[in-house]
Amino acid sequence: MTTAPSTVTSVDPLILYGETFSSRLLLGTSRYPSPRILEDAVRKAQPAMLTASLRRQNVSTNDSPNRFWDMLRQLDVPVLPNTAGCHSVQEVITTAQMAREVFETSWIKLELIGDDYTLQPDTLNLVDAASRLIKDGFKVLPYCTEDLVLCQRLVDVGCQAIMPWAAPIGTGKGPINPYALRTLRERLSVPMIVDAGLGLPSHACQVMEWGFDGVLLNTAVALAQDPIRMAGAFASATQAGRDAYRSGTMTEQHAAQPSTPVLGTPFWHQA
Protein backbone atom coordinates (compact mmCIF):
# COMPACT_ATOMS: atom_id res chain seq x y z
CA MET A 1 0.00 0.00 0.00
CA THR A 2 1.27 3.49 -0.88
CA THR A 3 1.46 5.77 2.12
CA ALA A 4 0.24 9.34 2.10
CA PRO A 5 2.57 12.33 1.74
CA SER A 6 4.43 13.16 4.93
CA THR A 7 2.82 15.68 7.27
CA VAL A 8 4.50 14.67 10.52
CA THR A 9 7.95 13.74 11.61
CA SER A 10 9.04 10.23 10.72
CA VAL A 11 10.13 9.57 14.30
CA ASP A 12 6.49 9.33 15.43
CA PRO A 13 4.52 7.56 12.69
CA LEU A 14 1.10 6.01 13.00
CA ILE A 15 1.47 2.24 12.78
CA LEU A 16 -1.55 0.07 11.94
CA TYR A 17 -1.26 -3.67 11.29
CA GLY A 18 2.49 -3.25 10.88
CA GLU A 19 2.18 -0.54 8.21
CA THR A 20 3.47 2.99 8.73
CA PHE A 21 1.54 6.16 7.94
CA SER A 22 2.92 9.68 8.05
CA SER A 23 -0.32 11.36 9.15
CA ARG A 24 -2.67 10.71 12.07
CA LEU A 25 -5.71 12.16 10.31
CA LEU A 26 -8.07 9.99 8.25
CA LEU A 27 -10.58 11.76 6.04
CA GLY A 28 -13.94 10.82 4.56
CA THR A 29 -14.91 11.58 0.97
CA SER A 30 -18.66 12.22 1.02
CA ARG A 31 -20.90 15.32 1.18
CA TYR A 32 -18.37 17.79 -0.23
CA PRO A 33 -19.79 20.65 -2.33
CA SER A 34 -17.86 19.46 -5.39
CA PRO A 35 -15.18 16.95 -6.42
CA ARG A 36 -12.72 19.82 -6.84
CA ILE A 37 -13.23 20.99 -3.24
CA LEU A 38 -12.78 17.42 -2.02
CA GLU A 39 -9.55 17.15 -3.99
CA ASP A 40 -8.20 20.45 -2.64
CA ALA A 41 -9.21 19.52 0.93
CA VAL A 42 -7.34 16.22 0.67
CA ARG A 43 -4.23 17.93 -0.67
CA LYS A 44 -4.43 20.45 2.18
CA ALA A 45 -4.87 17.86 4.94
CA GLN A 46 -2.58 15.16 3.49
CA PRO A 47 -4.40 12.38 5.41
CA ALA A 48 -3.15 8.88 6.08
CA MET A 49 -6.19 7.29 4.41
CA LEU A 50 -9.39 8.24 2.62
CA THR A 51 -12.54 6.36 3.51
CA ALA A 52 -14.93 5.50 0.72
CA SER A 53 -18.08 3.43 0.42
CA LEU A 54 -18.45 0.69 -2.15
CA ARG A 55 -21.90 2.14 -2.84
CA ARG A 56 -20.21 5.01 -4.70
CA GLN A 57 -18.56 2.67 -7.19
CA ASN A 58 -21.20 3.38 -9.85
CA VAL A 59 -21.25 7.13 -9.28
CA SER A 60 -20.56 9.01 -12.50
CA THR A 61 -21.17 12.33 -14.17
CA ASN A 62 -22.36 13.02 -17.71
CA ASP A 63 -19.00 14.39 -18.81
CA SER A 64 -16.70 11.97 -17.01
CA PRO A 65 -17.75 8.47 -15.94
CA ASN A 66 -16.13 7.27 -12.75
CA ARG A 67 -14.55 10.68 -12.26
CA PHE A 68 -14.69 10.23 -8.51
CA TRP A 69 -12.53 7.11 -8.59
CA ASP A 70 -10.13 8.56 -11.10
CA MET A 71 -9.62 11.51 -8.77
CA LEU A 72 -8.93 9.26 -5.77
CA ARG A 73 -6.29 7.38 -7.74
CA GLN A 74 -4.62 10.62 -8.78
CA LEU A 75 -4.46 11.81 -5.17
CA ASP A 76 -2.29 8.76 -4.38
CA VAL A 77 -3.69 8.41 -0.86
CA PRO A 78 -4.52 4.91 0.40
CA VAL A 79 -8.24 4.18 0.26
CA LEU A 80 -9.96 2.60 3.26
CA PRO A 81 -13.17 0.99 2.00
CA ASN A 82 -16.02 0.84 4.47
CA THR A 83 -19.13 -1.27 4.90
CA ALA A 84 -21.41 1.73 5.42
CA GLY A 85 -25.10 0.97 5.43
CA CYS A 86 -24.78 -2.69 6.37
CA HIS A 87 -27.26 -4.03 8.94
CA SER A 88 -26.31 -7.71 9.13
CA VAL A 89 -23.13 -9.73 9.48
CA GLN A 90 -23.63 -11.42 6.12
CA GLU A 91 -24.16 -8.07 4.42
CA VAL A 92 -20.89 -6.87 5.96
CA ILE A 93 -18.99 -9.93 4.74
CA THR A 94 -20.34 -9.67 1.20
CA THR A 95 -19.66 -5.92 0.98
CA ALA A 96 -16.13 -6.32 2.34
CA GLN A 97 -15.30 -9.07 -0.15
CA MET A 98 -16.60 -6.97 -3.03
CA ALA A 99 -14.62 -3.96 -1.78
CA ARG A 100 -11.45 -6.04 -1.67
CA GLU A 101 -11.85 -6.85 -5.35
CA VAL A 102 -12.78 -3.33 -6.40
CA PHE A 103 -10.14 -1.45 -4.40
CA GLU A 104 -7.50 -4.20 -4.45
CA THR A 105 -6.85 -3.86 -0.72
CA SER A 106 -7.40 -6.01 2.35
CA TRP A 107 -8.06 -2.93 4.52
CA ILE A 108 -11.66 -2.49 5.61
CA LYS A 109 -13.48 -0.10 7.92
CA LEU A 110 -16.09 -2.29 9.57
CA GLU A 111 -19.44 -0.58 10.00
CA LEU A 112 -22.38 -2.65 11.21
CA ILE A 113 -25.31 -0.41 12.06
CA GLY A 114 -27.69 -1.41 14.85
CA ASP A 115 -29.88 1.69 15.02
CA ASP A 116 -30.86 3.85 12.05
CA TYR A 117 -31.61 6.95 14.16
CA THR A 118 -28.31 7.26 16.01
CA LEU A 119 -26.32 5.10 13.56
CA GLN A 120 -24.94 3.34 16.63
CA PRO A 121 -22.96 0.21 15.83
CA ASP A 122 -24.61 -3.16 16.42
CA THR A 123 -22.64 -4.02 19.54
CA LEU A 124 -24.17 -7.50 19.79
CA ASN A 125 -22.94 -8.68 16.38
CA LEU A 126 -19.91 -6.47 15.75
CA VAL A 127 -17.41 -8.86 17.33
CA ASP A 128 -18.64 -11.79 15.24
CA ALA A 129 -18.37 -9.73 12.05
CA ALA A 130 -14.84 -8.61 12.94
CA SER A 131 -13.77 -12.16 13.75
CA ARG A 132 -15.03 -13.51 10.43
CA LEU A 133 -13.37 -10.72 8.45
CA ILE A 134 -10.04 -11.24 10.18
CA LYS A 135 -10.17 -14.96 9.48
CA ASP A 136 -10.78 -14.05 5.85
CA GLY A 137 -7.57 -12.05 5.74
CA PHE A 138 -8.86 -8.51 6.22
CA LYS A 139 -7.12 -5.76 8.19
CA VAL A 140 -10.15 -4.65 10.15
CA LEU A 141 -10.67 -1.18 11.61
CA PRO A 142 -13.99 -1.51 13.47
CA TYR A 143 -16.22 1.48 14.07
CA CYS A 144 -17.54 0.97 17.59
CA THR A 145 -18.82 2.72 20.68
CA GLU A 146 -16.61 3.66 23.61
CA ASP A 147 -17.76 0.59 25.58
CA LEU A 148 -14.68 -0.94 27.21
CA VAL A 149 -15.89 -4.55 27.18
CA LEU A 150 -16.89 -4.37 23.52
CA CYS A 151 -13.54 -2.89 22.54
CA GLN A 152 -11.66 -5.53 24.54
CA ARG A 153 -13.60 -8.28 22.77
CA LEU A 154 -12.71 -6.78 19.39
CA VAL A 155 -9.05 -6.86 20.37
CA ASP A 156 -9.42 -10.43 21.63
CA VAL A 157 -10.63 -11.66 18.23
CA GLY A 158 -7.68 -10.08 16.45
CA CYS A 159 -8.41 -6.41 15.74
CA GLN A 160 -5.03 -4.67 15.96
CA ALA A 161 -6.71 -1.26 16.12
CA ILE A 162 -10.17 0.02 17.03
CA MET A 163 -12.17 3.14 16.20
CA PRO A 164 -14.53 4.25 18.99
CA TRP A 165 -16.90 7.12 18.34
CA ALA A 166 -16.80 10.45 20.17
CA ALA A 167 -20.48 11.03 19.45
CA PRO A 168 -23.05 9.80 16.90
CA ILE A 169 -22.01 10.20 13.27
CA GLY A 170 -22.46 13.67 11.84
CA THR A 171 -23.50 15.37 15.09
CA GLY A 172 -20.31 17.39 15.60
CA LYS A 173 -20.84 17.27 19.35
CA GLY A 174 -17.29 16.25 20.20
CA PRO A 175 -16.50 13.77 22.99
CA ILE A 176 -19.77 13.29 24.90
CA ASN A 177 -18.33 10.72 27.31
CA PRO A 178 -14.79 11.82 28.16
CA TYR A 179 -14.57 9.47 31.15
CA ALA A 180 -15.30 6.39 29.05
CA LEU A 181 -12.91 7.43 26.28
CA ARG A 182 -10.08 8.17 28.68
CA THR A 183 -10.69 4.91 30.52
CA LEU A 184 -10.57 3.09 27.20
CA ARG A 185 -7.26 4.71 26.37
CA GLU A 186 -5.81 3.77 29.75
CA ARG A 187 -6.92 0.14 29.61
CA LEU A 188 -6.16 -0.90 26.03
CA SER A 189 -2.76 -0.74 24.38
CA VAL A 190 -3.72 -1.13 20.71
CA PRO A 191 -3.86 1.92 18.42
CA MET A 192 -7.16 3.76 18.74
CA ILE A 193 -8.60 6.22 16.25
CA VAL A 194 -11.53 8.36 17.34
CA ASP A 195 -14.14 8.01 14.60
CA ALA A 196 -17.36 10.01 14.29
CA GLY A 197 -18.87 12.94 16.14
CA LEU A 198 -15.99 15.42 16.02
CA GLY A 199 -17.09 18.88 14.96
CA LEU A 200 -14.24 21.26 15.78
CA PRO A 201 -10.47 21.12 15.43
CA SER A 202 -10.33 21.57 19.20
CA HIS A 203 -12.21 18.27 19.58
CA ALA A 204 -9.52 16.51 17.57
CA CYS A 205 -6.79 18.19 19.59
CA GLN A 206 -8.46 17.16 22.84
CA VAL A 207 -8.69 13.45 22.12
CA MET A 208 -5.14 13.45 20.79
CA GLU A 209 -4.01 15.07 24.05
CA TRP A 210 -5.61 12.12 25.85
CA GLY A 211 -3.33 9.75 23.97
CA PHE A 212 -5.49 8.56 21.09
CA ASP A 213 -3.49 7.66 18.02
CA GLY A 214 -5.53 9.40 15.35
CA VAL A 215 -8.88 10.81 14.29
CA LEU A 216 -11.23 10.04 11.42
CA LEU A 217 -13.73 12.64 10.30
CA ASN A 218 -15.83 13.66 7.34
CA THR A 219 -18.81 15.91 8.01
CA ALA A 220 -16.88 18.50 10.02
CA VAL A 221 -14.76 19.23 6.97
CA ALA A 222 -17.20 18.55 4.14
CA LEU A 223 -19.96 20.80 5.54
CA ALA A 224 -17.71 23.63 6.72
CA GLN A 225 -18.14 26.99 4.99
CA ASP A 226 -14.56 26.60 3.78
CA PRO A 227 -13.80 22.86 3.66
CA ILE A 228 -10.27 23.35 2.37
CA ARG A 229 -9.24 25.65 5.20
CA MET A 230 -11.03 23.44 7.73
CA ALA A 231 -9.16 20.38 6.46
CA GLY A 232 -5.91 22.17 7.17
CA ALA A 233 -7.15 23.24 10.60
CA PHE A 234 -7.98 19.65 11.56
CA ALA A 235 -4.61 18.43 10.32
CA SER A 236 -2.82 21.04 12.42
CA ALA A 237 -5.00 20.40 15.49
CA THR A 238 -4.45 16.65 15.27
CA GLN A 239 -0.70 17.10 15.20
CA ALA A 240 -0.80 19.73 17.97
CA GLY A 241 -2.68 17.32 20.21
CA ARG A 242 -0.19 14.56 19.50
CA ASP A 243 2.74 16.87 20.27
CA ALA A 244 1.10 17.91 23.54
CA TYR A 245 0.55 14.28 24.56
CA ARG A 246 4.14 13.32 23.81
CA SER A 247 5.46 16.41 25.60
CA GLY A 248 3.77 15.53 28.89
CA THR A 249 1.32 18.10 30.16
CA MET A 250 1.72 19.85 33.49
CA THR A 251 -0.15 18.56 36.54
CA GLU A 252 -3.35 20.47 37.20
CA GLN A 253 -3.17 22.53 40.40
CA HIS A 254 -6.00 23.43 42.79
CA ALA A 255 -4.57 26.86 43.62
CA ALA A 256 -2.74 29.58 41.74
CA GLN A 257 0.99 29.04 41.33
CA PRO A 258 3.21 32.02 40.38
CA SER A 259 5.03 31.50 37.09
CA THR A 260 7.64 34.10 38.05
CA PRO A 261 9.55 33.67 41.36
CA VAL A 262 8.93 36.51 43.84
CA LEU A 263 12.02 35.87 45.95
CA GLY A 264 14.54 38.64 45.29
CA THR A 265 12.16 41.03 43.58
CA PRO A 266 12.68 44.66 44.74
CA PHE A 267 9.24 45.28 46.24
CA TRP A 268 8.32 41.83 47.54
CA HIS A 269 6.92 41.82 51.09
CA GLN A 270 5.82 38.81 53.04
CA ALA A 271 2.37 39.28 54.52
Give all strands of the β-sheet with 163-164 in edge-to-edge order: 163-164, 139-144, 107-110, 79-82, 49-53, 25-28, 214-217, 193-195
CA–CA separation, 234 vs 152, rounded Å? Answer: 29
Q: How far is CA 102 from the centre of its chain?
A: 23
- By the 10 Å C-beta count (0-12 exposed, 13-18 middle, 19+ buried), 261 is classed as exposed
CA–CA separation, 189 vs 198, rounded Å? Answer: 23
CA–CA separation, 220 vs 206, rounded Å? Answer: 15
CA–CA separation, 38 vs 71, rounded Å? Answer: 10
- Give yes or no: 135 in active site: no
Contacts of 113 (CB under 8 A, 6+ apart): 85, 86, 87, 119, 120, 121, 122
**CA triple 182-186-187, angle to 5 deg:** 120
Of the residues 109, 135, 139, 173, which is catalytic? 109
CA–CA separation, 123 vs 253, rounded Å? Answer: 39
Strand partners, 51: 28, 80
Output the CA–CA distances (angstroms, integers) from residue 244 to 107, 163, 191, in the order listed.
Answer: 30, 21, 18
Known catalytic residues?
109
